Amino acid sequence: MQLRIDKYLADMGIGTRSEVKQYIRKKQVQVNGVYPKGPEQKIVPNQDSITFQGKAISYIEMEYFMLNKPAGCVSATTDAKHKTVLDYIDTKKRKDLFPVGRLDIDTEGLLLITNDGALAHELLSPKKHVAKTYYAKVEGCVTSEDVVQFEKGVDIGEERLTLPAELKILKVSPEDISEIELTIMEGKFHQVKRMFEAVGKKVVYLKRISMGNLILDENLQPGEYRKLTAEEIEKIQMKR
């Protein structure tokens, strides 16, 4: 694979394409110890040696991060009002990372951050029915009748009922606060909250704990992240 030197450096977050062109003109970039002829010069990633201001710049084609999303930030790449999930990934190399799917601003838990568009499509496509499991605290006593209803599908005000979902009751407190796990096979807007509203209850805390084969690392505190392991990347790519 060959890349233009300006694209290579822009992909690695050195600057915009126009900024990189200026760096090249100012002789701040070298390819194999020689100043490139221009921004259009082709190089071979991880074969040619690229430096910027004397520092080696290695090329990373894909990045995969697991974030334990905290409440209060938005699942977006940019936002004028709120901190975004990308603001937490301070060791990223690429500039084109994005969150795979969205969690509400007040929802915590597993979020995959990557630049792998093909993988994101596989995980998010409605036709793939990728399982997503949530832990929630719910106002009201969740009952076995609710378990049966969720398995049949719930009317959340759309044309069709939700797909069958697996509801597990973990605990019900004397104050009628229920702790549950819910696995759904789709990702409609505010779906978990709307499903419980449909049976007369209210979600007061929500956390995603898994998505497909990817399970939230219990050692990650809200706002913490880490790179996916090679094994985790292989698992989530298995169906591709």
177-184 vs 166-172, strand pairing mode: antiparallel
Q: Which two tokens stand for residue 158?
A: 């759309």
Helix, coil or strand: residue 66: strand
Q: How far apart are CA 190 and CA 152, in angstroms?
A: 19
Q: Which two tokens stand for residue 83?
A: 């901190």
Q: Which residues are annotated as catalytic?
A: 104
Q: Which residues of 38-59 are buried (b: 16+ CB within 10 A; e: fewer)?
A: ebebebebeebebebeeeebeb
Write out 1-36 in H/E/C secondary structure: CCEEHHHHHHHCCCCCHHHHHHHHHCCCEEECCECC
108-114 vs 64-69, strand pairing mode: antiparallel
Q: Which two tokens stand for residue 133?
A: 């499991």
Angle at Cα 214 formed by Cα 205 and Cα 195, nearest 5°? 35
Q: Which two tokens stand for residue 160?
A: 């069709």
Q: Specify the DSSP element, H or E, that contains 15.
A: none
The one-letter amino acid code at 141 reads: C
